[in-house]
Amino acid sequence: MKRKIAAIFAADIAGYSRLVAEDEEETLRRLASYREVVDDFIAKAGGRIFNTAGDAVLAEFPSAVDAVRCAIDIQESLRTRNMAYPPSRQMSFRIGITIGDVVERDGDLLGDGVNIAARLEGLAEVGGICVSRAVHEQVANKLSVQFADIGAQEVKNIPTPVHAYMVAMRREDGTYAKPQLKKAASKVAAAPVWMWPLVVAVVSIVAIGVSGFLYNTKLKQTASVAARAASPSASPSALPSATPAATTTAPTPMPTQLAKAPMAPTNAGAAMAPMPAPSPSAAPMTGKLNADSVPFINERVRNYLAGDYSAAGDYKAFALNVGGFTGSALNQPSEEAARNSAIEQCQKRADAAQSPRRCELYAVGNNVVYTHGKPPMPPQPFVRHDAVIERPFASKDFPIVREPQKVRLENIFAPAAKARSVALGPGGQYFMVLGASSADDAARRSLESCGAIAGVACLVVAIDDNFVVPIPTLFRITGFFNAASNASIVADARGEVMRKLTDAMGWNAVAVGIAGRPGLGLKAADEQTAVNSALADCAKRDSDCHVIAIGPFTVGPVN
């Protein structure tokens, strides 16, 4: 046996016994599939599984940073897989992590470190991660992770409370879900036996004093009431009148259910740029309802708004969210009932699909009341098909986003029904539209939703089975390229670069030298030819040239 310090990772499945009882074969099959994901992430992060039992996994890592990063990747990947199942059949892990002194015996690890990790796992939310204070101190300044301090927690078979932190888990759109804070432990030390007579005496004296004070106060109140009653000028204060609400069959949702504000999020993409609220800089939309101007919705809903909704009388309302979920209410007994019913219907649909975006009123009656402006959109045409640069969609090559998002694209976008589109924001925000009536409709809706989430215009990256923009393979994609604001290019040359790149089909590359003088490779048949042409063009007017952009993306050397 030998002792060592290790980061201990403990995980098991929430509600596993219920899942087995409902469908044993399907649960065991999915457990094997999910364990492959967990085991693979642990191995890639340099961890070692030292014990398993049923649905539980215990692993050690050389560092807390590796353990937490691995846990986040596991939870994000499994959350994506769970989206294919109804909430009652989802298989979600809880994960606990601590740093502790452990004893190794025949490959197994024993000791308080293992026990505390298991107790932290029990404190974690479903699909969440709970870590000890030691882990938090190691990780807080090394990973872009948000924590919620839940204080000291009393846990079974551990003599002293464990100070714990919840990891704020990222939603599918890049925002963070705020963990539910658990009540901190509070131990009150037992008083010595000799103190009890003193305590009783003090309590008795206080009780007598309070009783006397209340008795005197009661006498004064009684006298005051009698004096007011005897005075002819005194009049009783009016009670607030209760106005009966209009009867409606649509229940009113609680405000907290309709306006859950996420924590200040970090973007899901590699750039980790903050994700703004929908169209924060645009003025609210007002005026008369025009079905053709409503964002996020499909043609069926648009036709409904232009027909049945517009023709209906008051009271009516229409609600939506940026994910395209909608709700409407017609012929309600009051405007308030219409508002509540529309939002409730929309929110139920969004919640059933696990959409993280809340629903908001778009129209009341025939008047638009949407508090956000139109989502930022790129100029048309949204997609320019070019056989030279198009190639089959492969989730592993999807630019900017992290590995869990690539897994989600592989599991959801790739096999989905046509027409489908995925739009990408400059900070890694993205949005998919699946099963649309046409490729144009899919492209528009994905751009609207992505733009509302990102706060800036997005780019359609894939339509159906193909990438529709050039995806560099010789360089690492680092972001979106905008010649007008690119600091690498000398200011007086940016306008010329923009002009020459406009409407240039095929592969295009931009290189700059030490003085910021650009060179362009335009309308090439392949990536390498565009790169070579850009470097050669740059060398004519500058030195130490290097490629900074290919197609719509900024690029850097491959890691």
Encode pLDDT of 353-410 as tens digits: 777 788 999 999 999 999 888 899 999 899 999 999 999 999 999 999 888 888 889 9
The band of 180, judged by pLDDT with boundaries at 50, 70 and 90, is low
178: helix, coil or strand? coil
Of 221, 377, 394, the residue nearest 296 (C-alpha): 377
Provide the pLDDT for residue 458.
Answer: 95
What confidence tier does 177 reach under pLDDT thresholds 50, 70, 90?
low
Binned at pLDDT 50, 70 and 90, residue 424 comes out as very high
Which residue did the predictor score with more confidence, 121 or 21? 121
Q: Is the per-residue pLDDT at 165 higher than 90?
A: yes
- Please provide the average confidence, as pLDDT, over all residues in the chain: 80
Q: How many CB atoms lie within 10 A of CB 282?
A: 14
Q: Which of 257-261, 332-336, 426-430 has the highest mean pLDDT?
A: 332-336
Confidence of residue 179 (pLDDT cuts 50, 70, 90): low
- For residue 129, the 8-state DSSP code is E
Query: What distance in Å separates the CA atoms of residue 391 and residue 3, rounded to the nearest whole number?
Result: 54
Tokens 């340099």 map to which residue? 46
Condensed to tens digits (0 to 9), the pLDDT of residues 306-325 reads 999 999 988 999 999 998 99
Pick the CATH number of 2-167 from 3.30.70.1230, 3.40.50.2300, 3.30.70.980, 3.40.50.300: 3.30.70.1230
How much is the pLDDT for 559?
A: 55
For residue 34, pLDDT beyond 70: yes
- H or E stretch covering 512: strand 507-512
Bridge partners (DSSP) of residue 98 are 8
- Give ∠ CA 60-64-67 in degrees, rounded to 5: 55
Q: Can you give the pLDDT at residue 345? A: 92
Q: Which tokens hold the place of 26?
A: 């399907």
pLDDT higher at 352 or 188:
352
Distance from chain centroid for Cα 258: 17
Judge contact between 442 and 432, C-beta under 8 A.
no
Backbone angles phi and psi of 69, in degrees to 5: -60, -40
Distances (CA, A) of 153 to 111, 118, 135, 180, 550: 19, 13, 15, 14, 53
Name the residue ranges covered by the structural domains of the chain: 2-167, 283-368, 476-556
CA 428/CA 425 separation, integer angstroms: 5
The DSSP call for residue 87 is G
What's 190's DSSP letter? P
Coil, helix or strand for 328?
strand
Most distant CA pair in the chain: distance in Å? 105
Confidence label for 442 from pLDDT (cuts 50, 70 and 90): very high
Task: Say if CB 302 and CB 289 are below 8 A apart.
Answer: no
Q: Where residue 181 falls among pLDDT bands split at 50, 70, 90? A: low
Helix (H) or strand (E) holding 197: helix 196-230
DSSP-assigned letters across all residues of 95-133: EEEEEEEEEEETTEEESHHHHHHHHHHHHSPTT-EEEEH
Is the pLDDT confidence value at 187 over 90?
no
Give the percent of the chain with pLDDT over 90.
50
Average the pLDDT over each of 34-38, 171-175, 424-428, 430-434 and give the range with the smallest value. Answer: 171-175
Beta-bridge mates of residue 524: 507
Q: Indicate if the pLDDT at residue 435 is higher than 50.
A: yes
**Token pair for residue 154?**
């009393």
Q: How far is CA 188 from CA 61, 155, 157, 446, in A?
A: 36, 16, 18, 57
Q: Mind spelling out the 3-state secondary structure of 259-315?
A: CCCCECCCCCECCCCCCCCCCCCCCCCCCECCHHHCCCCCHHHHHHHHHHHHHCCCC
- For 190-201, what is each residue's pLDDT tens digit? 434 334 444 444
Structure-token pair, residue 127 = 């699909």
- 255 confidence band (pLDDT: 50, 70, 90): very low
**Residue count (the chain):** 559
For residue 552, is the peptide bond before it cis, meaning its omega torsion is within 30 degrees of 0?
no
Given a cut of 70, whether residue 205 has pLDDT beyond it is no
Pairing type for strands 129-132 and 162-167 reads: antiparallel
The residue-averaged pLDDT of 45-67 equals: 91
Residue 221 clears pLDDT 80, i.e. is over it: no
What is the three-class DSSP state of 114? helix
User: CB atoms < 10 A from the CB of 453, how many?
Assistant: 29
CB 151 within 8 A of CB 136: no
d(CA 36, CA 33): 5
- Answer yes or no: are the C-beta atoms of 288 and 309 closer than 8 Å: no
Identify which has the larger pLDDT, 52 or 526.
Answer: 526
Cα torsion at 454, 460, 464, 470 (round to 10°)? -130
Instruction: Judge whether residue 55 has pLDDT over 90.
Output: no
Which of 382, 396, 384, 505 is CA-nearest to residue 450? Answer: 382
pLDDT in tens, 75-118: 988 887 888 788 888 899 999 999 988 998 888 898 888 999 99
More confident residue, 156 or 318: 318
Closest Cα to residue 424, out of 461, 398, 453, 390?
461
- Tell me: pLDDT of 440 over 90: yes
- The pLDDT score that the predictor gives to residue 296 is 94
| 3-class SS of residue 520 | strand
Is pLDDT larger for residue 227 or for residue 399? 399
Per-residue model confidence (pLDDT) at position 133? 92
Least confident stretch, 22-36, 175-189, 250-264, 291-305: 250-264
Structural contact between residues 177 and 208, judged by C-beta atoms closer than 8 angstroms:
no
